[in-house]
Amino acid sequence: MTRTLSTQEKPPTPRERARAQTVADIIRLGREHLALHGAAALSLRAVARDLGVVSSAVYRYVESRDELLTLLLIDAYGELGDQVDAAVDILPEGDYRGRFLALGRAVRDWALREPSSYALLFGSPVPGYQAPAERTTGPGTRVIYRLVGIFDAAHRAGAMAAEPPSAVVIPPALARDLHAIRHELGLSVPEAVLARGVLVWTSLFGAISFEVFGQYGADTFAARDELFEHQLAVLLGIVGL
């Protein structure tokens, strides 16, 4: 199966080709505006100007400004996922620590390179905009699935401490959630480790968000690379890897 865009596998007509090209141009220009001015300032009229067309014309291709935001959201999730996959895949499957570090660095590098896109994905929600779950959950779960995949593989290989250091009791309600996740994803890691994995996940993005969103202040931390590396190292220890 190569493509499942439509029921019939007709080759695209010239019209369809031109239309797809225009939509691609709109997304490209939207990304530029997003990078320059941020998500909440994204203007369909400005995109139309750059496209050399009157503002109402873009509505032929994009339903609304929110629709364009959704397209940019999916685009950004895809790019982040690709970056993470590329960074992880160059390391051998058994190098669990290396793969975790590569994942963390890939996310941070991308976030620092595309702060507006990162803000769109992981920052405050854009007012009046609700991402359609049916179109964004798929691309939006690539990084976390990759992360738990690394943890699970490490656990299966016996490279991970079966019980986390200094065990913390997990209340039943939380255990139920974790059990459901384990079951749904077919994981073998015990729930206590999975819980730590969730903390590592949120902590990773917390550290990156602080840096991208300027919470560290202007000059408190000069050695940000080293700080992040240290944080990754400690997080490795948390999950027992």
Partner DNA sequence: CAACAAATGTGAGCAGTGCTCTTGACTTGC
Partner DNA sequence: GCAAGTCAAGAGCACTGCTCACATTTGTTG
Interface residues with its own copies (CB under 8 A) are 37-41, 119-120, 122-128, 133, 137, 165-166, 168, 170-171, 173-174, 176-177, 181, 195-196, 198-199, 202-207, 209-210, 213-215, 217-218, 220-223, 226-227, 229-231, 233-235, 237-238
> In the complex, what is the shortest distance from the CB of residue 49 to DNA, in angstroms, rounded to a whole number?
7
- Angle at Cα 114 formed by Cα 66 and Cα 133, nearest 5°? 35
Residue 158 binding target from its own copies, DNA, none, CB below 5 to 8 Å by type = none
> Please, which residues have CB within 8 angstroms of residue 70's CB and are 6 or more apart in sequence?
131, 132, 135, 136
Residue 149 binding target from DNA, its own copies, none, CB below 5 to 8 Å by type = none
Residue 103 binding target from its own copies, DNA, none, CB below 5 to 8 Å by type = none
> In the complex, what is the shortest distance from the CB of residue 57 to DNA, in angstroms, rounded to a whole number?
4
Least Cα distance to 57 among 32, 35, 26, 27 occurs for: 26
Find the radius of gyration of the CA atoms of the chain.
Answer: 21
Using the minimum distance from each CB to its own copies, give the nearer residue, 48 or 148: 148
> In the complex, what is the shortest distance from the CB of residue 68 to DNA, in angstroms, rounded to a whole number?
8
Residue 146 binding target from DNA, its own copies, none, CB below 5 to 8 Å by type = none
> Please, which residues have CB within 8 angstroms of residue 176's CB and are 6 or more apart in sequence?
none
Q: Give me the torsion for CA of 227, 228, 231, 232, rounded to 10°.
A: -140
Helix axes 96-113, 115-122, angle to 10 degrees: 110
Residue 227 binding target from DNA, its own copies, none, CB below 5 to 8 Å by type = its own copies
Using the minimum distance from each CB to its own copies, give the nearer residue, 22 or 203: 203
Using the minimum distance from each CB to DNA, give the nearer residue, 44 or 80: 44
> In the complex, what is the shortest distance from the CB of residue 178 to DNA, in angstroms, rounded to a whole number?
40
**What is the number of other CB atoms lying within 10 angstroms of the CB of residue 142?**
16
In degrees and rounded to multiples of 5, residue 157 shows phi and psi of -80, 0
Using the minimum distance from each CB to its own copies, give the nearer residue, 28 or 230: 230
Residue 188 binding target from DNA, its own copies, none, CB below 5 to 8 Å by type = none
**What is the number of other CB atoms lying within 10 angstroms of the CB of residue 36?**
11
Interface residues with DNA (CB under 7 A) are 13-15, 18-19, 22, 42-46, 53-57, 59-61, 64-66
Least Cα distance to 87 among 77, 96, 99, 95 occurs for: 99
> In the complex, what is the shortest distance from the CB of residue 46 to DNA, in angstroms, rounded to a whole number?
4
The three-state (H, E, C) secondary structure of 86-140, written as one string:
HHHHCCCCCCHHHHHHHHHHHHHHHHHHCHHHHHHHHCCCCCCCCCCHHHHHHHH
Residue 186 binding target from its own copies, DNA, none, CB below 5 to 8 Å by type = none
